[in-house]
Amino acid sequence: MTKIACDPSSEGIFKRISDIRTLEEKYGGNIDIRFASVTYGTSRRVIYDNMAIDGRRLAIAGDLAYVSTIYFQKSVIERMRDNYDRHFETYKPC
């Protein structure tokens, strides 16, 4: 199951939710989308089975730039996934 948390105050949120809903229709119950109760507008996390990516947005004169850290240590990946899952349960369904 893919879990996606959306920031309801972010720019373009309705377009993004529309795009995600299209994926949800295509892939059935494999995607769970929720509104995050806490804003993480400058952070992006992607967690796979064998790596996790923690990206931070940089404010550079209007340009969109990220600096990211890629983790391969199993213990770090599991901790990031556990933290995300624990918080995800508190988010409101879209």
SS3 29: helix
pLDDT of residue 38: 60
State how far the alpha carbon of 39 is from the alpha carbons of 7, 9, 35, in Å: 6, 8, 10
Tally of domains within the chain: 1
Ordered mean pLDDT values, 10 residues apiece, the chain (94 residues): 67 72 75 65 78 80 76 93 84 70
Using alpha carbons only, give the angle 2, 56, 20 rounded to the nearest 5 degrees: 30
pLDDT of residue 43: 73
Q: Which domain holds residue 50?
A: 2-93
As a whole number of angstroms, the distance between CA 5 and CA 87 comes to: 10
Q: Report the predicted TM-score, pTM, of the whole model to 2 decimal places.
A: 0.61
pLDDT of residue 30: 72
pLDDT of residue 72: 95
